[in-house]
Amino acid sequence: MEVARSTKRMLQIGSQHRSTPFKIRAMEALHGGLIGDIYQARGLCFKRRKSIGHKPDSPTPPGLDWDMFLGPAPMRPFNELRFAYNWHWFWDTGNGDIGNQGVHQLGVARWAMGDPGWPKSAFAEGGKYAYTDDQETPNTLAASFDYGGRELLFDVRGLHTNAEGSVPKSKKTAPKGNVEPLEIMVGNLFYGTEGWAAMNDSGFQAFKGESNELVLEEKDGDENTTGLHMQNFLDVVQSRKHEDLHDEIAIAAPSAALCHLANISYRVGRRLTLEDGPKFAGDAEATKMITREKYRKPYAV
């Protein structure tokens, strides 16, 4: 972020949710008090992941620069399981599904909360269940982030699971007739002092009061969200107003950091209290994991 500011570069991050028209409208309503003050935001990543199995090391395929692919990670023999999509499941190169899919829903959760900065503490627990294979990262994870009087929760479920979402039906006539409740597998839930809401890529629903009255419903309009996100970036390249970027680095970096905070807590097995830096109060082991201990040359940062 400091480099982007000092060099006056426009740096947009690829979380297209923030350029999705119906999500923008939904967030404007939430920020306007649609369900009262949001005290809890949840992110869900319920993506079925099958076992990656075991595979021996093998010769590097022709045309692949394995050294460059690994970058600052330790050099090791080529293995098909550590390449292509499965690199997400190894600590040298990936962060599991919380850093793969989850970073997007973490960003949406922070968006609903008004994009707060660092949490006061972070905690995560879970494990790699059901499979005996080469994967290192957990396929089941529950993370919590304390923001002082409100919290952000995130769940990863890679095995069989049910959906969550807009189960209660309104006891009053819905604004647009009968409502088909959203089922959230990958998406968000928001809880406020006056109601609650659910969001995924197909739509948004907000319910209010003891009767769970539907007060707002938004649906995906099949817009080219990637195109809109790119257009936002190009517009700002011309205007030079970084604050107009939908997912500017100052907004996106804390969302990505939550993935790392959760993983560090999971790996050391305890709740972590944050101090400025950032670093963890009285926890040298966890603080050491904030950055890579050794960057492999010439990919040093």
Whether residue 77 is preceded by a cis peptide bond, meaning omega within 30 degrees of 0, is no
pLDDT tens-digit profile of 111-134? 999 999 999 999 999 999 999 999
58/87 Cα distance (integer angstroms): 16
In a domain, 78, yes or no: no
Looking at the structure of the chain, the number of domains it has is: 1
In a domain, 57, yes or no: no
In a domain, 115, yes or no: yes
In a domain, 82, yes or no: no
Domain span including residue 174: 2-49+97-288
> Residue 257 — pLDDT band, cuts 50, 70, 90?
very high
Whether residue 59 is preceded by a cis peptide bond, meaning omega within 30 degrees of 0, is no
In a domain, 91, yes or no: no
Asked whether 176 and 165 are in contact (CB, 8 A), the reply is no
In a domain, 69, yes or no: no
Phi and psi angles of residue 205, each rounded to the nearest 5 degrees, phi first: -135, 140
Beta strand ranges found along 131-172 (DSSP E): 140-146, 151-157, 164-165
Amino acid identity for residue 176 in this structure: K
31-45, 154-168, 272-286: which is most confident = 31-45
In a domain, 89, yes or no: no
* Confidence (pLDDT) at 192: 98
* Confidence (pLDDT) at 167: 61
Phi and psi angles of residue 18, each rounded to the nearest 5 degrees, phi first: -75, -5
In the numeric block, the tokens 């007060």 are attached to 215
Higher local confidence (pLDDT), 292 or 153:
153
This prediction's pTM: 0.93
In a domain, 29, yes or no: yes
pLDDT tens-digit profile of 17-36? 999 999 999 999 999 999 99
If you average pLDDT over every residue of the chain, what do you get? 93
Q: Check which CATH number belongs to the domain holding 122 and give it.
A: 3.30.360.10
Asked whether 186 and 200 are in contact (CB, 8 A), the reply is yes
* Confidence (pLDDT) at 1: 85
